[in-house]
Amino acid sequence: MPEQGIVYLVGAGPGDPGLITVKGLECIQKAAVLVYDRLAGRRLLTFAPSGCEMIYVGKLPDRHTLRQEEINQLLVDKALEGKVVTRLKGGDPYVFGRGGEEAELLVQNNIPFEVVPGITSAIAVPAYAGIPVTHRDYTSSFAVITGHEDPDKDESSINWDKLATAAGTLVFLMGVANLPFIVQKLIKFDRDSSTPVALIRWGTRPEQQVLTGTLADIVKKVEEAHFTSPAIIIVGEVVKLRDTLSWFEKKPLFGKRVVVTRSREQASVLSRRIEELGGEAFEFPAIDIGDPVDFGPLDEAVARVDSYDWLIFTSVNGVDYFFRRLRHYGRDIRDLKSARICAIGPKTKEKLEEMCLRVEYVPEEYRAEAILSGLRGKVANGERVLLPRADIAREILPDTLRRMGAQVDNVTAYRTVRGGGEAALLLQLLEEGMIHCVTFTSSSTVKNFVDMLGKDNLHHLLKGVRLASIGPITSASALDLGLTIDIEASEYTIDGLVDALKQI
């Protein structure tokens, strides 16, 4: 018999992946089966564990992948196999999410379940459009109503005569197709035709669009703008605050979805900066960082670390892996007392200073050619230099140091290997025109990106997509592979790359 399964009914929030709850994210990370719908942010899927079974059950107004009854049964069947099932639903599972129906069938089949509430679009989407659903100067009440009710059915479950004027703000979910009916009912039951109205499509996402009007003219405006679902409708005086309180659309990267190709461990820094600027980061780790195939050369260097005159660290990874090995052999920073230290880049310098190590030299430009220029006159003939680096690092640095008379041990401290980015998902997003920019932070991210997506497809897939590079070496690697870099950081750091992205 399989172990007891469990189902988590998780609210994914309205679209911005940053609005997932901590508990909701934990449920995604431990899922064996992830059942998700159209409104669940796709970036959230990247947090699922390797090997997780992904099942799309999204619904469009005119067609359904699965009927709701089939989705309910799917959750039961997967749980009966003894699996952890996470049902990821847009917004909140119990706010017009039909989570209650799914839970009822789970109870009937004695399947344990938990509900993880999500931030409902009824509140979050207006907030991202600059519209608070309540405000002491306008209204102290709001109501959330389905906009999906069939206008042709004999008897409405909505008491329009009471609803029209009962709450200061009315929020209709999934109601674009029924907008004429909704407007007609509200005006019929004494809601003033001059009442402000806003429709917000794909709220909290880069595709967010807002259309405003009044009950008197909003139907015509929607028709003229070809404004379609998914969108929510807000009726009330608070809509007037949009011009004053709009904030999301004013951010420099609003409307942009940016691919981050760094390793999963390092991607979060760049992703967070992109999202602070109003963009959406899609993490596609094209590289991964791992142990060297052979620790021998690194271990030999560690054994005689006190014999070196210079230690040159070219990355934070080099620092991490070198000191990890130093600790492995019971040694510490006291063994480095005779060595001067060079660090490439401010983050590498910060990492070393966190360990109370004084950095002798940091080049103004973060590439090998600039480092060598700065080290001339500092590294003396015959001095011993240790370079703990990646296995694929360029040879210009050790070769030139040797020509300067130094004795150089260039050892592999870590390996850069192909990452585990979801190529199929990224290909789909590119095909749908949902990617606006791809960032490259090293030559290896470019090479692996091309390998993972297929060189033959790239010209078509990247049409209209801007490519951003952290510096000239990475840009040159892209050019060698047939890619044209549109944006290059003037300072070869993550901060420099973020500043350059403001051009897109």
User: What's 240's DSSP letter?
Assistant: G
| Distance between CA atoms of residues 15 and 206, nearest Å | 9
| Distance between CA atoms of residues 121 and 184, nearest Å | 24
CATH 3.30.950.10 domain range(s) in the chain: 123-248
- The architecture (CATH level 2) of 123-248 comes to 2-Layer Sandwich (3.30)
| Distance between CA atoms of residues 72 and 103, nearest Å | 8
In this predicted structure, what is the pLDDT of residue 1?
Answer: 45
Task: Check the CA dihedral 184-186-187-190 and report its sign.
Answer: positive
CATH 3.40.50.10090 domain range(s) in the chain: 257-286+419-501, 291-415
| Distance between CA atoms of residues 123 and 143, nearest Å | 10
pTM: 0.80
Q: Residue 444: what are its φ and ψ, rounded to 5°? A: -70, -30
SS3 249: helix
The stretches in the chain having pLDDT less than 50 are 1
11 closest CA partner among 131, 148, 151, 119: 119
Q: What is the DSSP string of 106-164?
A: HHHTT--EEEE----HHHHHHHHTT--S-BTTTBS-EEEEES-S-TTSSS-SS-HHHHH
**What does CATH list as the number for 291-415?**
3.40.50.10090
In this predicted structure, what is the pLDDT of residue 2?
Answer: 56
Give the number of other CB atoms < 10 A from CB of residue 22.
7
Give the number of other CB atoms < 10 A from CB of residue 321.
24
Q: Residue 420: what are its φ and ψ, rounded to 5°? A: -110, 30
Half-sphere exposure of residue 40, counting CA atoms within 13 Å on the CB side?
A: 29
Q: Which residue has the tokens 């390996």?
A: 415
Half-sphere exposure of residue 373, counting CA atoms within 13 Å on the CB side?
A: 8
Q: Is 3.40.50.10090 the CATH classification of the domain at 257-286+419-501?
A: yes
259 closest CA partner among 285, 221, 238, 290: 285
Contact assessment for residue 92 and residue 60, using Cβ atoms and an 8 Å cutoff:
no
Q: Counting beta carbons within 10 angstroms of the beta carbon of residue 331, is it exposed (0 to 12), middle (13 to 18) or buried (19 or more)? A: middle
User: What's 256's DSSP letter?
Assistant: -
The tens digit of pLDDT for each residue in 452-490 reads 999 888 888 999 999 999 999 999 999 999 999 999 999
Fold of 6-119: Cobalt-precorrin-4 Transmethylase; domain 1 (3.40.1010)
Catalytic residues: 37, 59, 174
The tens digit of pLDDT for each residue in 38-67 reads 767 777 888 899 899 999 998 655 555 788
